[in-house]
């Protein structure tokens, strides 16, 4: 197995070839002449070439040293550029595809405005929207997902970075002309109807059932679905009651009647989540800023 070269020697080589003197190179690197002499010996052993040979009272570079002088300078410049903080990106020429994972409703509400902004600022950036079926953070950890939205709770991985986007609340939704579309909706009237349960929102609807139970009421669940779109489609074509987040489903509720729940329930905060590896990435930071600003615009009156 070949020996791994000490890359620290590149800087020493560059300075030695530039100065052509062990003493001057030592002073420039703030080393003792003996330490620089030892470094030159290691360079000679590594490269298999004397590099600098005595000619009179000075040192002159060998042909191999002359060949390396230009190359080592370029390598060091590239290495230093890699270690500098990321520079401002050229959005007009940025070519990248970002994957965003969210519950249904997010794309319908925020997707068009987000795409419009990205097309204006970075026309070669593409968005891949995927449906969030579980709360598993593995896709973020494995970089198959760049950004996702969620309600932060005890199940959220502590390793993830988060930023609040907007506040939301649960509301009731029924078809136009439904009995609950007329008159005051009381807890008793709400509980007396037939309801749709969102299977993946067990915690939120658990709070609803707990609030009803505290009032001595219980609702009847007659259908269970996996997403907001399906719940609203059932409500649109039947007398069933859907209970969904208000802002998250705004674009899905056209033509339906919405009402405030007659229950004392706390609102929820929708946040965006990403893996720490993307924290300093300038393109990802720009995307997060776009998502935040667009979502904040939709929550100014919350």
pLDDT in tens, 26-58: 898 888 989 989 988 988 988 888 988 888 777
pTM across the whole model: 0.68
The architecture (CATH level 2) of 170-266 comes to 3-Layer(aba) Sandwich (3.40)
Q: What integer pLDDT is reported at residue 205 of this predicted model?
A: 56
Q: What integer pLDDT is reported at residue 32 of this predicted model?
A: 92
Q: Mean per-residue pLDDT for 204-222? A: 89
Domain 91-168+269-297: which CATH class? Answer: alpha beta
CATH topology of domain 9-83: Arc Repressor Mutant, subunit A (1.10.10)
Number of Cβ within a 10 Å radius of residue 142: 9
Q: What integer pLDDT is reported at residue 13 of this predicted model?
A: 85
Q: What integer pLDDT is reported at residue 18 of this predicted model?
A: 82
Domain locations in the chain as residue ranges: 9-83, 91-168+269-297, 170-266
Q: What integer pLDDT is reported at residue 200 of this predicted model?
A: 61
9-83 and 170-266 have identical folds: no
| Residue 302 confidence (pLDDT) above 60 | no
User: 237-275: buried (b, 16+ CB within 10 Å) or exposed (e) per residue?
Assistant: ebebbbbbbbbbbbebbeebbebebbbebeebbbbbbbb
Q: What integer pLDDT is reported at residue 203 of this predicted model?
A: 46
């Amino acid at each position: 197995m070949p020996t791994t070269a000490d890359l620290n020697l590149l800087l020493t080589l560059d300075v030695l070839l530039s100065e052509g003197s062990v003493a001057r190179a030592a002073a420039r690197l703030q080393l003792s002449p003996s330490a620089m002499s030892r470094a030159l010996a290691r360079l000679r052993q590594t490269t298999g070439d004397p590099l600098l040979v005595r000619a009179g009272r000075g040192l002159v570079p060998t042909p191999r040293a002359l060949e390396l002088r230009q190359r080592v300078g370029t390598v060091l410049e590239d290495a230093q550029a890699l270690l500098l903080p990321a520079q401002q990106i050229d959005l007009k020429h940025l070519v990248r595809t970002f994957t965003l994972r969210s519950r249904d409703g997010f794309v319908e509400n925020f997707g068009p405005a987000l795409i419009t902004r990205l097309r204006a600022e970075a026309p070669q950036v593409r968005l891949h929207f995927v449906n969030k079926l579980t709360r598993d953070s593995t896709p973020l950890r494995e970089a198959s997902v760049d950004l996702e939205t969620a309600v932060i709770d005890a199940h959220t991985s502590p390793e993830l970075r988060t930023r609040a986007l907007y506040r939301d609340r649960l509301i009731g939704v029924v078809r136009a002309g439904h009995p609950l579309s007329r008159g005051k909706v009381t807890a008793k009237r709400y509980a007396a109807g037939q309801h749709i349960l969102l299977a993946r929102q067990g915690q939120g609807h658990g709070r609803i059932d707990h609030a009803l139970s505290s009032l001595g009421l219980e609702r009847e669940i007659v259908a269970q679905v996996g997403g907001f779109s399906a719940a609203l489609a059932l409500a649109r074509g039947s007398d069933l009651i859907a209970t969904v987040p208000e802002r998250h489903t705004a674009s899905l509720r056209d033509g339906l009647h919405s009402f405030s729940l007659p229950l004392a329930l706390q609102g929820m905060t929708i946040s965006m989540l990403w893996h720490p590896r993307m924290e300093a990435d300038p393109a990802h930071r720009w995307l997060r800023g776009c998502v935040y600003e667009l979502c904040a615009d939709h929550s100014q009156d919350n």
